[in-house]
Amino acid sequence: MEKDLCQISCVNRPLVEQVLKALPDEPLLCGAAEIFKMLADPNRLRLLHALTQEELCVCDLAALVDTSASAVSHQLRLLRTARLVKYRREGKMVYYQLDDEHVAHLLQEGLRHAAED
């Protein structure tokens, strides 16, 4: 690594060291990246946006994004393991909702910034 060039010449070492110290540690950065990764797909954004309004079952969500129930189920598993949604079983049906308001907040922030391009 770092073999490409300018090992000694142009790097402002002290400044880099300083900035480096202020960086959040590895697990926190990766955790944040994981959350953003979940938000990095239009279909998942649709699902999450829908869940900001209503609790919905898998079939509803599949109809909403116009794909197979299987595909949605896979997506929901990702969102579940990332703690962005939680679910509730009622008979045969499983109803999903957002895990907390942070999710809705982040989503809204992203949409706002995308709008004022």
Partner DNA sequence: TCGACGGCTGAACAACTGTTCAGTTATTGT
Partner DNA sequence: ACAATAACTGAACAGTTGTTCAGCCGTCGA
H-only helix segments in 3-100: 13-22, 26-38, 42-53, 58-65, 69-81
Residues linked to residue 96 through DSSP beta bridges, in sequence order: 56, 87
Residues linked to residue 98 through DSSP beta bridges, in sequence order: 85
User: In this structure, is the dihedral angle defined by the CA atoms of residues 41, 44, 50 and 51, taken in order, positive or negative?
Assistant: negative
For residue 109, the partner it binds in DNA, a copy of itself, none, with Cβ less than 5 to 8 A by kind, is a copy of itself
Site for a copy of itself in 63-102 (CB under 8 A): 63-64, 66-70, 83, 92-93, 102
Of 6-14, 16-24, 45-53, 106-114, the segment contacting DNA by CB under 7 A is 6-14
- For residue 76 the two structure tokens come to 């929901």
Which residues contact a copy of itself (rule: CB under 8 A)? 1-6, 9-13, 15-16, 18-20, 22-24, 26, 28-37, 39-42, 45-46, 49-50, 53-54, 56-57, 59-60, 62-64, 66-70, 83, 92-93, 102-103, 105-107, 109-111, 113-117
